[in-house]
Amino acid sequence: MEYVNGGDLMFHIQLCHKFDIGRARFYAAEIICGLQFLHSKGIIYRDLKLDNVLLDKEGHIKIADFGMCKEAMFGDAKTSTFCGTPDYIAPEILLGQKYSMSVDWWSFGVLLYEMLIGQSPFHGQDEEELFQSIRMDSPFYPRWLDRDARDLLVKLFVREPERRLGVKGNIRQHAFFQEIQWEALEERAVEPPFKPKVKSPGDCSNFDKEFLKEKPWLSLGDRTLINSMDQNMFSNFSFTNPMMDKLLS
């Protein structure tokens, strides 16, 4: 597994409260490229949030943690599983409706709002109040917010999934992204507006110290489960962990 040592967007936004518009636009554009690639492969991501967007040493984003993905979502296919991170859950999920790629564009709107304004668009004292806010409230837009940024957010927070930008219309053509050269961006030919300080390949200074204090633990295997699996899939592997017997004992 690749170690991406530039830290995540949550770590970096906590250092500066919010990103300037150029930096937010760059991250948003690269995230759009990632989401559209997943959607083209029939995958709903379902867990887009600041914590799951990492920066590499050059400052480009990498989307991480695909544990909540739903695959084989082509054409009119829909699903109804209730999942996601509370602040980012789309209203159609909360209402128990069947959904598709629209939920990723709602989460994208929440993430963009956080990058530009420095707080969440929906609030509550507990999860129940938060979910009610997501279903009912209109986000607050500060007067200083860029006009195109506000228009983009308004179109991402449309509660009717079929009318939400990303589902309807070409989000790349929105005025907020007028400066973006999409082909160059996809080729990583656009220089990131921010480059994280990385001293070495193993540098972990861009991660919260809380996580660095945790002790690593070996996951113990379940011999019964392993024996029940078809071992032919490993027939061409020559390596056997010398600790295998110890882990299964």
Q: What is the DSSP string of 129-150?
A: HHHHHHHHPPPP--TTS-HHHH
What distance in Å separates the CA atoms of residue 203 and residue 181, rounded to the nearest whole number? Answer: 32
Q: Which of 106, 149, 112 is nearest to 19 (CA)?
A: 112
Catalytic pick from 8, 20, 47, 222?
47
Q: How far apart are the two ends of the chain, measured CA to CA in Å?
A: 27
Active site residue 137: no
| Residues 131/140, Cβ–Cβ less than 8 Å | no
Q: What is the DSSP string of 86-131?
A: GGG--HHHHTT--B-THHHHHHHHHHHHHHHHSS-SS--SSHHHHH
Q: Which residues are catalytic?
A: 47
